Structure 1
Amino acid sequence: MTEIIRSLADLSGRYDAVFCDLWGCLHNGKAAFPTAVSALQGFRKAGGKVVLLTNAPRPKSSVIKQLDGLGVPRDAWDIVVTSGDAAQMGMLSGAVGRRVHHIGAPKDEPFFTDFADDLAAYAKTQPPIERVDLKNAEGIVCTGLNDDLTETPDDYRAALLLGKTLGLPMLCANPDIVVDLGDKRLYCAGALAEAYEQLGGTALYFGKPHPPIYDLARRRLAEAGAPSDPQILCIGDGISTDIQGGMSEALDTLFITGGLEADQFGPDVENPDQGLLDNWLEARELSPTFAMGRLR
């Protein structure tokens, strides 16, 4: 049975590092959550490493700028690893060819130009990536919707059908289906990849819950001086991404119930009902190690 805990400090001394999700755990897209910031600061002060592990389709430099703008202090984390980072590695290696068609927003342009040091070195050894129209592409790179404030996956049906007809594989830079921006729910690249697969297309995933992002996170954690076999806790509000991913990696998990699924566990978001939680998890055949209303 999943154990409900009151605070991250309850687990003091048990873990060398946390892989912590961002959206829904540390911020809501508009502002940082002060109690979550304090929890991560406390974990670091006790000697732990904080890896912010996000399915954002942009490289880590863009995410760091966003975190600064949202008021997340830099002493709350050690490392940022994004789905964009892992997907960039896939793109550079030619996973969907060298001529690619991009589906995504203008804010995602850094995906093609801004590489972390380890990826930039790798990029120099590979043939260039050329962006082309759909009919001349070898594959699709999907970082999200062009306008996620107004569009839905239905707006992309024609393009997805054409891509499927042409037999183009899709690189999905963000497996998330939806996120909450304040009180508004937005579709992510994962929703387009899911729609593409439903049409018979092939999608390749690089963020949570899939292995590439965890491999990259472990490599960067080791470079930051973590023990050779660190005890890691995965924190997140996405049951099919954060929690499923952590469990697939044989890591302990902390499910934040007050995020995407906040209306499922009783009227008090801070204190999830154990019975409702157990029934909900049983229906999904998942058992996180711990649960908490909001990260604190």
Structure 2
Amino acid sequence: MTTSIERCGLSALSDMFNVAFCDVWGVLHNGERVHQSAVKALQNFRRSGAAVILVTNAPRPSNEIVTELLAMGVPQDAFDALVSSGEVTRDLIATYQGKTIYRLGPQSDDGLFDGIDVKFGPLDQADAIVCSDLEYGRTPEDYTSEIQDWKTRSLPFICANPDKFVEIGDQLIYCGGALADLYEEVGGDVIMAGKPFPPIYEKAAQLALQTRGIDLKDQKVIAIGDSARTDATGAAKIGAGFLFISGSIHAHELGELNAPDEAEIEKLLAPTGANSMGYSPFLEW
């Protein structure tokens, strides 16, 4: 079967785009190790004068994630700036200043609330739920009865991580987006600012302007990511080109890791409406 999508590296697209909005987890690293081919691709792209803005659905402030990446061995010259869904979510949390929040998520996400005057309290006193991620060891289905209680109380659900899954080594772990989906299915009010929603891309575009002087009207964006739901859909929403990284969370759906079924890739991406420029099992130059 002939398909229109082809394997390509970032070098094949470098003359067409001057800004990359690049996913982090699943593209730049897998939670345990850095993908060196991705580092080299981003370094080479920047050497052409282009901007690389890392755009991640991690539910923590951007500066924390930059520190973590540098500690993992990602060199500073591989990117210009980073924006996280956690950073954008802080703007949403700030609208509840002086009010009570029911919090879901690990203590490692405490930085999400730094400097914001909200109180944590029980569900019956809460004005909203803030979910940075699922509680340790729980699946979305474990929250079924609680979700009905949230709906009865008409509580808005602010989700700091729209991803459904994240790759940690060889495992796929549930994220906040999977729980948000279940709440939305019962008619709950879900609010998200990470990918694929516009606010996180608007911040990324401003960072490309600030760090590389590329005017908003002159930005030609290639979005790079491993998720159809967030990265491809987000690229479609902002009118960017899309480079799909097939060897991550969707790898098990696409056949052989280093030679995925291109027809299956097309079938996966078609519903997103993304302008797919190509794919690669791992980001490479």
| TM-score (ref. length: structure 1) | 0.88
Q: In structure 2, what is the equivalent of residue 193 of structure 1?
A: 180
* Structure 2 counterpart of 1:67, from 66, 69, 79: 69
Q: Percent identity?
A: 35
* Superposed counterparts of 1:189-228, under 5 Å: 189-224=176-211, 225-228=213-216
User: Residue 162 of structure 1: CA displacement?
Assistant: 2.0
Contact in 1 for aligned 2:53/2:207 (Cα 8 Å): no
Q: Which moved more, 1:66-75 or 1:99-108?
A: 66-75
| 1:83 and 1:208 in contact (8 A); partners too | yes
Tell me how far 1:283 sits from its aligned partner.
6.4
AA aligned opposite 1:106 = Q
Q: Aligned pair 1:110/2:114, yes or no?
A: no
Which of 163, 171, 175 pairs up with 1:184? 171
Give 1:287 shift: 5.1
Work out which of the residue numbers 251, 260, 266 in structure 1 matches 2:249.
260
Q: What is the DSSP-based 3-state SS (H/G/I as helix, E as strand, rest coil) of the residue aligned with 1:75?
A: helix
Which deviations, in whole Å up to 9, do the C-alpha atoms of 1:240-294 show, x marking residues without a partner?
1001101111111111111111133332x23333333334444666552322221
Cα distance, 1:160–1:264 mapped onto 2, change above 3 Å: closer
1:231 partner letter: K
The alpha carbon displacement at 1:100 in A equals: 1.2
User: What CA distance in whole angstroms lies between the structure 2 residues aligned with 1:280 and 1:139?
Assistant: 34
- Paired residue for 1:50, among 52, 56, 67? 52
Post-superposition offset of 1:295: 0.4
Corresponding residue pairs, total = 280
Does structure 2 retain, via aligned residues, the 8 Å contact 1:20–1:53?
yes
Cα pair distance change 1:16/1:152, threshold 3 Å:
same
Q: Aligned-pair distance for 1:165?
A: 1.3
Are residues 1:141 and 2:130 paired? yes
Tell me the residue number matched to 1:117: none
For the residue of structure 1 that corresponds to 2:260, the secondary structure is coil
| 1:97 and 1:139 in contact (8 A); partners too | no
Extract unaligned runs of 5+ from structure 2. none
Larger displacement relative to structure 2 (220-229 or 245-254): 220-229
Runs of 4+ in 1 over 6 A off after TM superposition: none
In structure 2, how many angstroms separate the alpha carbons of the residues matched to 1:285 and 1:251? 11
Q: Matched residues in 2 for 1:15 and 1:97: separation?
A: 44
The two structures, once aligned, show a CA RMSD in angstroms of: 2.0
- CA deviation digits over 1:63-96, x for unaligned, max 9? 11221232211111111000001111111134x9
